[in-house]
């Protein structure tokens, strides 16, 4: 009734490319002038998985511990020092549970959690004599966003028809209305007002979202 597995992985990469400081996808210049090559990278981790396949209550639990970094030695990228990759996430956990109430009604729930992504933020800024603003970045990907987690639930009603099975589903996405980070930026507008001092403000998407869906399987 139960299935259990453990997997480990390790990968080394070379000849990687990344944008030069201050460059991005936009602009009319050739992309070759915006990037630097010769980067190194490592990615490794361990994955655990447990699944229950039989009975009125089924589901699975998955957990991954991982680490991923990049290194552009002898370059301007992070002063030639290793740094965490954009999608480096130390912990990734998911839990799925499905309960068959009777032959016509199923109740399911999902909870996911993951370590926040890393981003690059400046540590300080100052004005030059000609009033240009200069920002100081201590290192690349030096700030980690808050963790991401949410719960989804769904109640499904099935009925056998002549040509198939129809299903109505009542679902709620992000049940406890977690304000997960979409991006962060320094802003003077926070707590509903404009302020003299700038603060690091988090912006989120997708609050609690109820929905109704219909499907037909034949």
Total residues belonging to the chain: 218
Q: What is the mean pLDDT of residues 7-26?
A: 89
Q: Judge residue 70's burial from the number of C-beta atoms within 10 Å of its C-beta, 0-12 exposed, 13-18 middle, 19 or more buried.
A: buried
Q: Which of 167, 201, 173 is nearest to 187 (CA)?
A: 201
State pLDDT tens for residues 148-206. 999 999 999 999 988 899 999 999 999 999 999 999 998 888 888 998 888 899 999 99
pLDDT of residue 28: 61
Type and span of the H or E element at 178: none
pLDDT of residue 137: 86
Highest mean pLDDT among 14-23, 63-72, 119-128: 63-72
pTM of the model: 0.86
Regarding predicted confidence, which is higher, 20 or 85?
A: 85
Going by pLDDT thresholds of 50, 70 and 90, the confidence category of residue 27 is low
Type and span of the H or E element at 162: none
Residue 143 scores a pLDDT above 70: yes
What value does the mean pLDDT of the chain take? 92
Residue 88 scores a pLDDT above 90: yes
């Amino acid at each position: 009734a139960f299935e259990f597995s453990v997997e480990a992985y390790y990968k080394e990469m070379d000849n990687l490319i990344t944008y030069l400081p201050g460059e991005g996808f936009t602009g009319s210049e050739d992309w070759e002038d915006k990037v630097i090559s010769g980067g190194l990278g490592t990615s490794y981790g361990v994955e655990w998985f447990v699944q229950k396949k039989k009975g009125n209550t089924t589901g699975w639990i998955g957990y991954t511990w991982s680490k991923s970094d990049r290194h552009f030695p002898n370059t301007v990228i992070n002063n030639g020092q290793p740094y965490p990759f954009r999608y480096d996430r130390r912990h990734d956990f998911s839990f799925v549970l499905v309960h068959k109430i009777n032959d016509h009604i199923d109740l399911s729930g999902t909870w996911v959690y993951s370590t926040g992504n890393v981003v690059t933020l400046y540590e300080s800024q100052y004005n030059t004599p000609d009033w240009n603003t200069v920002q100081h970045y201590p290192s690349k990907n030096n700030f980690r966003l808050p963790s991401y987690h949410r719960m989804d639930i769904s109640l499904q009603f099935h009925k056998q028809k002549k040509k198939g099975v129809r299903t109505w589903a009542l679902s709620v996405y992000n049940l406890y209305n977690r304000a997960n980070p979409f991006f962060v930026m320094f802003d003077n507008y926070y707590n509903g007002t404009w302020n003299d001092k700038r603060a690091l403000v988090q912006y989120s998407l997708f609050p609690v979202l109820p929905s109704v869906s219909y499907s037909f399987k034949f």
